[in-house]
Amino acid sequence: MRSRPTAELLDSIRQSKRELHADQRDLPLPEKVRQVLALQKIDYAVRSARGELRSWERPWDIEP
């Protein structure tokens, strides 16, 4: 049985997430769009390998 994470570990993870979100919030819009497109391509590769996509569910072939 796995042990439960400590309160210090959870606090550290939460603080790191707050910092990451603050950094992401300050990014310029073109960079945010670039990141979304990159994540869509990753998602497409995973889902198409699993056979979970319909023919119309492809990301657009565009570059920001």
pLDDT score for 25: 94
pLDDT of residue 23: 94
Q: Is residue 55 a part of any domain in this protein?
A: yes
- Give me the number of domains the chain comprises: 1
Query: What is the reported pLDDT for 21?
Result: 95
Residue 59 lies in a domain: yes
| Residue-range definition of the domain harbouring residue 47 | 27-64
- Domain assignment present for residue 57? The answer is yes
Per-residue confidence (pLDDT) for residue 64, from 0 to 100:
63
Residue at 6 is within a domain: no
Does some domain include residue 8? no
Identify the segments of the chain with pLDDT beneath 50: none
In a domain, 18, yes or no: no
H or E element, residue 34: helix 29-50
pLDDT, position 16: 97
CA-CA distance, 9 to 13, in Å (whole number)? 6
Q: Per residue in 28-57, is it b (16+ CB within 10 Å) or e — as a string?
A: eeeeeeeeebeeeeeeeeeeeeeeeeeeee
**How high is the pLDDT of residue 13?**
97
42 is a domain residue: yes
